[in-house]
Amino acid sequence: MLFFTGMPLFLMELSLGQYGAAGPITVWKCCPLLKGIGIGMLCVSTLVCLYYNVIIAWTFYYLGSSFQSPLPWSCDALQNIALCANKTNSTQSPSEVFWNEKVLGVVHSTGLSDPGPVRWPLALCLLAAWIIIFLCMLKGIHSSGKVVYLTATFPYFVLLVLIIRGATLEGSLDGVAFYLTPKWDQLADAQVWNDAASQIFYSLGIGVGGLLSMASYNKFDNNVIRDTIIITIGNCSTSFFAGFAIFSILGHMAFKKGVPVDKVADSGPGLAFVAYPEALALLPGSVFWSILFFLMLFMLGVDTLFGNMEGICTAVLDEFPQLRSNLKHKTLFLAVLCFSFYLMGLLLITDGGIYWFTLIDSFSTSFGLIIITLFMCIGISFFYGVNQFCQDIVDMICRCPPWCTKMLLYFKACWVVFTPFLLTFILTYIFIEMYRTSLRYGSYVYPIWGKALGVCMGALCCLQILIWAIVAISKESGTLKDRFKKSIRPLNSWRVNNINSSSQEQHVEPHTIEGPFTVNLTEADYTGMNWEGISEA
């Protein structure tokens, strides 16, 4: 999935953003018919931002709780002594009780239709999280770029420390062996391929607009092929490296409990907020390790949210450049955006908020995201033209080394054949599974209306492609075929900023006619213009 979907799509977004020097909406000047792809990306990014900062709020809550000794989810805590003493009669561990009762309050809710009151300790944590995001993004790419130096590098230090600590624990090798032992028969399960795609898309930030926005600030001659290879392989290597830190400590946890590793390993929020904290509570100096771990989670969460927020901000500021030029208006816009997200996020930190969180998490980056990236791949390859796109990349990399040219042949084959095929395969599987299986959180089964609401969220994102395609076609004149041909033609301003540009530090709105349109010229149009110097140009 990395080599046939992740890397090709990553390069496509990086190249498109860098060449167009614009965000996820404005960049579709290259093919106005597909403007809905950018708006769909904005919808996906909005849903992700809505629920992802809730994870940071949980992390804040755990980080604050980690300063207590003993840890409130450990067996040494006074309130958990009786619970740990009756292991045979207890259905939940202290970490599960802390998560479900103290943090989420989910025990007080009956389901999706019963959210209950807002949990104010979490509301304060969520407010603090949004204030931090606001302050970090206040000066745009210049401030968030500097913050990333810390948020992106600190987790490596923590992972290295946790790996060294985990290697010294009894049973850690069992956890590592479980992590590294492949089960080849699972390759026949389509769910494995779906999970692999989800991991690649989520970790690389494909399809949410953040890559397009970040790349739009690159220098025009930046080597995007080199960046793609380094970042994508480095990203997956980091994920692989992190697995040793996770499973070495889970192996120790399994050793302590006398159960197989697969009985303590969990996924999703359960791993980060139940299984791993429980494992950390078993370590000597558990308070220190818990603080370190949740500080790392906080850094990773902020880092992820930057990409999504930058995608939204750049898209809006490109469409309304007057906001970009006025610092006061830009600050007000960012404040209103963050506060709006905070108010909407309050639903996710009620007693039943985890049910809404799971619903948005399950459908925000599901089939809608796959459809958006599939149309992006097909649109650039067949409407804009894969040969033209490759030529644009060569034009950016002025001194394109031979290996870059060879790599472009590989990426070209992926864009035209392999990537669309794999995305279609995954999309088909998602629809089959969505029809066959029920959505669950623990023992709670979501009602039909809840699942339908999730499908509507995903559909809203990808339907933007159809809606804005109809708008683009309706603006043109002639037969339907003529309208279609005109709507896939790049606008006149598409290459204005790029042809003689060596850097793209700012998004400049070109003062050109947004063609193609029918213009009736008169004699005054020719006599009133100074054509001197055009032949030399």
Residue 286 token pair? 């558990």
- Angle CA(409)–CA(411)–CA(414) in degrees, nearest 5? 115
DSSP per-residue codes, 423-449 = HHHHHHHHHHHHHHS--EETTEEPPHH
Identify the three-state secondary structure at position 284: coil
- Angle CA(360)–CA(362)–CA(365) in degrees, nearest 5? 85
Secondary structure tally for the chain: helices H, strands E: 23, 2
Residue 325 in marked binding region: no
Residue type, 424: T
Residue written as tokens 């949410």? 208
CA distances 165 to 285, 288, 298, Å, are 11, 12, 21
Identify the three-state secondary structure at position 444: strand
Residue 203 in marked binding region: yes
Q: Give the number of other CB atoms < 10 A from CB of residue 406.
A: 9
Residue 222 in marked binding region: no
Residue written as tokens 């755990």? 62
Nearest-angstrom CA–CA distance, 425 and 347: 35
Given a contact cutoff of 8 angstroms between Cβ atoms, the answer to whether 24 and 41 are in contact is yes
Given a contact cutoff of 8 angstroms between Cβ atoms, the answer to whether 37 and 376 are in contact is yes
Helices (H), 274-351: 276-281, 286-319, 321-325, 327-345
Residue written as tokens 């960046």? 227
Residues 12-15: contacts with CB under 8 Å, at least 24 apart: 12/376, 12/377, 12/380, 12/389, 12/415, 13/206, 13/211, 13/212, 13/215, 13/376, 14/211, 14/215, 14/224, 14/227, 14/228, 15/215, 15/224, 15/389, 15/392, 15/393, 15/396
Residue type, 427: L
Given a contact cutoff of 8 angstroms between Cβ atoms, the answer to whether 446 and 359 are in contact is yes
Residue 498 token pair? 């790029």
Residue 100 in marked binding region: no
Q: Give the number of other CB atoms < 10 A from CB of residue 98.
A: 25
Q: Which helix (H) or strand (E) holds 500?
A: none
Residue written as tokens 């604050």? 64
For the annotated binding site, the residues are: 203, 235, 300, 303
For the annotated binding site for Na(+), the residues are: 203, 235, 300, 303
